[in-house]
Amino acid sequence: MMKLQLRRISLLLLLMGLALPLQAQVFPQSGNSRSSFDSLDYDVAGEFNFVRVQFDSYYGGGMGYGPWSIDFPDADMNFLRGVSRLTNIRVMSDPIVLRLDDEEIFDYPFLYMLEVGQGGGIAMNPGETRNLREYLLRGGFLLIDDFWGQREWDNFYAAFTQVFPDREIVELQPDHEIFHVYYDIDGPQMIPALYRSDEYGEQGIDYASNHAILDDDGRVMVLVNWNSDMGDGWEHTYHPAYPTRYANAAYQLGINYLMYSLTH
């Protein structure tokens, strides 16, 4: 059995013992005690780590710090803290950065990408395209976050039709299981960037939507969080100018997507 499948089975057994999710505030307002989040000890038996995908864009390479690295590493580490606090999953302390053609991605059931529409969109070589397709068909899950407007959607679409030219990208409705697997959420949420409001979107669109690429059994392989910025919600958890309700929504959505990925 493949490594990815084995890891997903062990995580499924762990999740059967999860505590009930919190229904009220997820994270405290800035100024409250945050001592329990100041450090995240390395856990050699950790079952989950946050893997961010490094990628190239058409109008700029991915080496160094390109669009792929926005919100890094604060968003990644805060999300790990949130998973540790709000679930029984034991997490690793240091997030990982991998490219799609790295065989190590098969060791992890959950990958994260963002800003996939900047710089003309993602530029994947044939090896990255093949490896990503194989990873997803084996049971992996890719979360795509923080890209806005029709132009960036078109850039994303052009890249991912190369990965699965025979599969439709479908819109997920609020009654889909992914919104209710852990927290009960009323569908997609428009989580704004720092110093923005959810009353106004970006690049001409003022609502969020979630889209997906499904496998033959209807499992979500790729979750596309369009016109919403969970990464800023995680990164600015304690920023005095970032409303707690946005951070709460970011953690609730992110944990739902993670739970779905580990149980399907």
Q: Which domains does the chain have, with CATH numbers?
A: 3-18+49-263 (3.40.50.12140)
pLDDT at position 36 is 41
Distance between CA atoms of 58 and 142, rounded to whole angstroms? 21
* Full-model pTM: 0.83
pLDDT at position 92 is 84
Q: Which of 210, 214, 208 is nearest to 224 (CA)?
A: 210
Distance between CA atoms of 110 and 95, rounded to whole angstroms? 12
Mean pLDDT (10-residue bins), the chain, 264 residues:
52 46 42 44 75 86 68 92 92 90 96 84 92 97 92 91 94 98 95 70 74 97 95 93 93 97 93
* Phi, psi angle pair for 34, to nearest 5°: -135, 25
* Phi, psi angle pair for 192, to nearest 5°: -85, 165
Distance between CA atoms of 224 and 208, rounded to whole angstroms? 10
212, 172 Cβ separation under 8 angstroms: yes
Distance between CA atoms of 159 and 128, rounded to whole angstroms? 11
Paired tokens of 6: 């084995």
